[in-house]
Amino acid sequence: MTEQGEVIENPEIIEVNIDLKLSPCKNKIKLLSNGLISNGDDHATTALLILNQHIDIGQLFIKIWHNSSLRVCADGAANRLYDFFEDDEEERLKYKPDYIIGDLDSIKDDVFKYYQSLGVVIIKQTTQYSTDFTKCVNLISIHYNSPSFKQFLQDHKLESNHGIELERGIHEFYNSMMNEIKSVTTIPSINLVVINGIGGRFDQTIHSITQLYNLKQKDPYFQMSFITNTDIIILISKNGTILEFDPNFRKQCIGNCGLLPIGEPTIIIETIGLKWDVKNWDTSISTGKVSSNNRFVGGNKCYFHVEDDLVLNIEIFLDKVIEYI
């Protein structure tokens, strides 16, 4: 039996030219030289979501913070933000999140009081049918898209929980907002950078990956990426995607990559710009046919054409990224 599909081994550096007549390209994303992923829309804004694990990306964290127009902590992530500054009270004060949200079973009392005293909006949501991660994502959507949410917070600022229903008020707010705005407006793009969601507990990590697929369906205006101290992780959409990067950044800061069909088996119709490019290559976790340990050899871009969305991880050398920015 012959293996399906084709693997083409390329030299260490190649020029990538994409003939758009043969290789469709619906999506363009950029890997910026500060390690952030942008959907290529110059008007997009960036939001930072901090989850509850140790912040281990050093000065890259500070860089991402300053690059963001909104910063949200999921429950116990507020402890991690607080601890990041160790005993440097002056620095800690400069990094005030916009919101802390979750069931609030993980945030420490003194951290709660600290951020409350700084005027951070802290929202309790007790439902045990969604994670703090999902609560955060809904809140971020509302923050950017609801014409009335900021006014609502202002009007209810003296009430307990800012007047938001305790169990699933944010989810309800989100649902009714989405019903209202879907028909009327085009929603601006948001580059959503998530830290601390990968590694650590395995179910939490898999839940993070589900968010990549889920957001693509429910809130496609998010370009979501996970950043860890070893990787950037994104979803590559079907219908053809060009990923652009700065050639020097690639050389100095990027290592291996993997095309990971975590959500479902699929066919990689074509890649252009990998050390091991593939054509009509069926890939699945259960057969073990997965392109891991691959790398970018396209000087400034790489092209992916996949039949179904799949996960891409890009290895970053954190120290080099921090040096580079």
Ligand X SMILES: Nc1ncnc2c1ncn2[C@@H]1O[C@H](COP(=O)(O)OP(=O)(O)OP(=O)(O)O)[C@@H](O)[C@H]1O
Ligand Y SMILES: Cc1ncc(C[n+]2csc(CCO)c2C)c(N)n1
**Is residue 90 classed exposed, middle or buried when 0-12, 13-18 and 19+ CB atoms within 10 A define those classes?**
exposed
Which segments within 24-136 are labelled E, that is strand?
Answer: 27-31, 37-38, 45-50, 70-74, 99-102, 121-124
Is residue 202 within the footprint of ligand Y (CB under 6 A)? no
The sign of the CA dihedral 18, 23, 24, 27 is negative
Out of ligand X, ligand Y, none, what residue 129 binds, judged by CB under 5 to 8 A for its kind, is: ligand Y
Alpha-carbon distance 89 to 66, whole Å? 18
Alpha-carbon distance 64 to 56, whole Å? 13
Determine the residue with CB nearest ligand X. Answer: 200
Contacting ligand Y within 99-118 (CB under 6 A): 103
Residues of the shown chain interacting with ligand X in the complex, contacts defined by CB under 6 A: 51-53, 74-77, 102-103, 105-106, 131-133, 197, 200-201, 204-205
Is residue 129 within the footprint of ligand Y (CB under 6 A)? yes
Alpha-carbon distance 33 to 6, whole Å? 32
Is residue 146 within the footprint of ligand Y (CB under 6 A)? no
Is residue 128 within the footprint of ligand Y (CB under 6 A)? yes
Is residue 214 within the footprint of ligand Y (CB under 6 A)? no
Q: Could you tell me how far CA 219 lies from the centroid of its own chain?
A: 13
Out of ligand Y, ligand X, none, what residue 298 binds, judged by CB under 5 to 8 A for its kind, is: none
* Residues 275/281/285/290 CA torsion (nearest 10 deg): -10
Angle in degrees, CA 42, 29, 21, rounded to 5: 110
Q: Which of 27, 131, 271, 294 binds ligand Y (CB under 6 A)?
A: 131
Is residue 283 within the footprint of ligand Y (CB under 6 A)? no
CB of 131 to ligand Y, least distance (A): 5
Draw the binding track, 231-260, toward ligand Y (x: CB under 6 A; -: no contact): ------------------------------
CB of 191 to ligand X, least distance (A): 19
Is residue 132 within the footprint of ligand Y (CB under 6 A)? yes
Compare residues 182 and 201 and give the one whose CB is closer to ligand X: 201
The per-residue DSSP string of 34-55 comes to TS-EE-S-TT-EEEEEE-SS--
Out of ligand X, ligand Y, none, what residue 78 binds, judged by CB under 5 to 8 A for its kind, is: none
Alpha-carbon distance 48 to 294, whole Å? 29
- Pair 225, 194: CB distance under 8 Å: yes
Stretch that binds ligand Y, among 91-99, 126-134, 180-188, 250-258 (CB under 6 A): 126-134
List residues binding ligand Y (CB under 6 A).
Answer: 103, 128-132
